């Protein structure tokens, strides 16, 4: 079972202040023969959430350029949706997996925070 539209959330109330941590993984499309292609389907990022009190993972579509913000930069989600997938396993019950997706991930205060580059890394 899956929610068709997902759950629309108020990002500020649900996640609080979000801070960028890292790219967690890239999900790749499958070829017709079942092998993994080189084409990226979506990217998942680790973000620190003050309201959740832990790291959350948020998936962004691959048509959005790779986000490489400096560690701990304050970011915001564009149109976040919480989605679920429920699976019933005989004699074990139902398991539910939660997913957070957004249209984009942007710096909250772009003038005050930079994008990580090799030049910035060399200065440290």
* Alpha carbons 24 and 57: distance in angstroms, whole number: 8
The reported pLDDT for the residue numbered 122 is: 42
40-67 burial string, b = 16+ CB within 10 Å, else e?
A: eebbbbebbbeeeeeebebbbebeeeeb
The reported pLDDT for the residue numbered 2 is: 53
Digit-coded pLDDT (tens) for 45-90: 999 999 999 999 999 999 999 999 999 999 999 999 998 888 888 8
The pLDDT of residue 124 is above 50? no
Cα dist. 58→63, 93, 114 in Å? 15, 27, 21
Parse the chain into domains and list their residue ranges.
Answer: 7-107
The reported pLDDT for the residue numbered 103 is: 96
The reported pLDDT for the residue numbered 115 is: 56
For residue 37 the two structure tokens come to 């292609």
Whether residue 31 contacts residue 49, with contact meaning beta carbons closer than 8 Å, is answered with no
Task: Just give the CATH number of 7-107.
Answer: 2.40.50.390
The reported pLDDT for the residue numbered 90 is: 86
Digit-coded pLDDT (tens) for 45-56: 999 999 999 999
The reported pLDDT for the residue numbered 57 is: 95
């Amino acid at each position: 079972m899956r929610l068709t539209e997902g759950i629309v959330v108020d990002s500020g109330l649900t996640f609080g202040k979000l801070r960028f941590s890292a790219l967690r993984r890239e999900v790749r499309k499958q070829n017709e023969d079942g092998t993994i292609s080189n084409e990226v389907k979506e990217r998942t990022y680790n973000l620190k959430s003050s309201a959740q009190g832990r790291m959350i993972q948020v998936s962004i579509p691959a048509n959005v350029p790779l986000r490489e913000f400096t560690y701990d930069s304050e970011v915001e989600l564009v149109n976040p949706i919480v989605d679920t997938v429920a699976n019933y396993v005989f004699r074990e019950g139902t398991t539910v997996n939660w997913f957070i997706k957004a249209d984009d991930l942007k710096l909250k205060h772009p003038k005050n925070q930079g994008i990580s580059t090799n030049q910035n890394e060399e200065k440290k």
